[in-house]
Chain A
């Protein structure tokens, strides 16, 4: 009864456009008060306690720092130089620019922790270049949006940090390592349809006429960008820094490159960068904190176990249930953003994971794959939103180009479900 009210209140207020954090917090508080109507203050002291405890976790500090890294590298001029270097390697020709877009987005994924930041950095360079070479803008926006989705899979990744805070036993380094192979697979899977579409529709005819940058010069210019993932991922792998510290080292590295080497930034640019990344982090963190209240009320009401039992005994079998979960996430991904999906669904799915002995790291990669796919599947597609705005096209025009890319990614999701070792091999080999 109270549980029904909890979910009804949450879903109705959320659909009415109330901030998701407020919906979670109010529904949680209402359920706690009704369940403890006999006790002093209705047990509501648990509300600020869970709010504070939900935020007061050191690993969460990696979120504002990686958001800051994304904002700084966005303006550091690294993306443009990486594009030049990639062009010098693969050369010019129809279908080469989309390939370069995907490769550079994957590489930027090894620096920044969020998809939209990469979409902005890569889109800012590539969409103009692709338009000049004769690719339709809607197609370019689709490729950039899809390519940037590899970002939250390829470490570092804000999504994995949130997941690791929610799931005991899934450490950030293990998740980071587990995302690597699936992230690269997604990138490779996207290249196929992207190049095929370009060839089939005769795009980029004038690309071959553009000059090819000299190899050595472009390599030297891009060396600072090429070294960034080495510093971040290598430093974590060698045990030099925790993920949070790796992010901070990347912040100062990015500032040095942007201000001293490439001179694309000044001191004055630093203030808006700090403010916007603080604001974005707060918008994420406040939902994390308020979702703590919701999760607490779920656990005290003990509603998840009966639901889990009903699902487990429904005769669907392990793969039937997994299919259902994936379909549920596809639908949720159409309306909800990635962070909210984690915060709402991980507590609900946790008993299922335990019952079927699903590996928590593998399941985290699967959830993140679904979120990444949602980031470029219209109508609610944050990466596409960014790339469409840069290209100056509406999201509707991208649908015909995006769908083959979504399908290609769906194949990778299936592969990771069928062969969990694709995700789990690297963390085991590295000993996490």
Chain B
């Protein structure tokens, strides 16, 4: 089921909300079970064949977690249990996500003819990572024992199940246990509704609105210089508004249930360095990769050379996490190189005189955006050949069309640039503070001005009017 569908907005969400609060008057546990069951219904509507896999994954990880938390095992046995748990998760992920890729590469290398046709279970990358983090923390002794319904809800919670944010058990399960969350709080529902509306607008009006321009670079025709740039920039903004729109919708609807989800975006295209970019883009993935991959690899604790090696490994695997294709590996490698250069420049580059600081920051901002756009070409392209072809056109200003259509598209792109660079982001507008569990303090009581309220109503209305019949979120396929 899609967040941007009439069935979800007008039927599923209101029914689940009503049931949640109705049960909340009677019990603290029943709403949790209700929400977990509703999440399974949400998942099964379009992925019924993978419900058993999801349930098996929950049971497996809960069992391993139980062994690590509650059973009094010897250290070696605990390590073995963790190894079995993490390996089991990665094997399942590997089979469903990477077997076809592996077979294709074997075939290319050794002229074999392995055929692997396995459908990718939607959300598997997200719920696998979520549970690996749980197992590692359980092994480290950082986890109290959780009841099965709360754990199951933590994994299946429908606002995040398909495409994140990647949740952390220590953040979520205590919220599921809180009794106050089960009673409707009009202020949270209002703020959640507005955040949901902003996300819906980003998805249906901004991301879907610019999507046709992407084919300027990635369509069947060979692009000119300007068309290649229009297409690459269009994808840059489509991806951002699509994924950040999804994240806003997830945060908004979760807030209606009284649950605060972590932020996933913080105006990434305003970044002034690649390090800054990764603090702003898909933030929960960055945090996961940092805490459960980069730091365990040694992080920056063993000298510069190992630090750069660890960065490259982290980003290569981060790229591969997005999809089983060499284009994603190259995208990850590019960002790995960017990060290494960024860190090397910070450590060894010249210090900037204060009077040049603004100019240097502006240059860094432009250079960062340029590097990100170039990397997105690999992220979007169907193949390496296609990516290199688009990039070669972007580097060839001798071939320019710039007709009436391209001029109109350029104006369109300029509007998106203005929004991404100069408009406040959702959390700035709404005063969303995940850490302190606060939102919309300026809107409380009578302080919500009618102008804001009706502007929010218009955003929600335009979001609904922008719904198209077939428009999945891009991150569903990861």
**Do A and B associate with each other?**
no
Give chain A's interface residues, CB within 8 Å of chain B: none
B contact set with A: CB distance below 8 Å: none
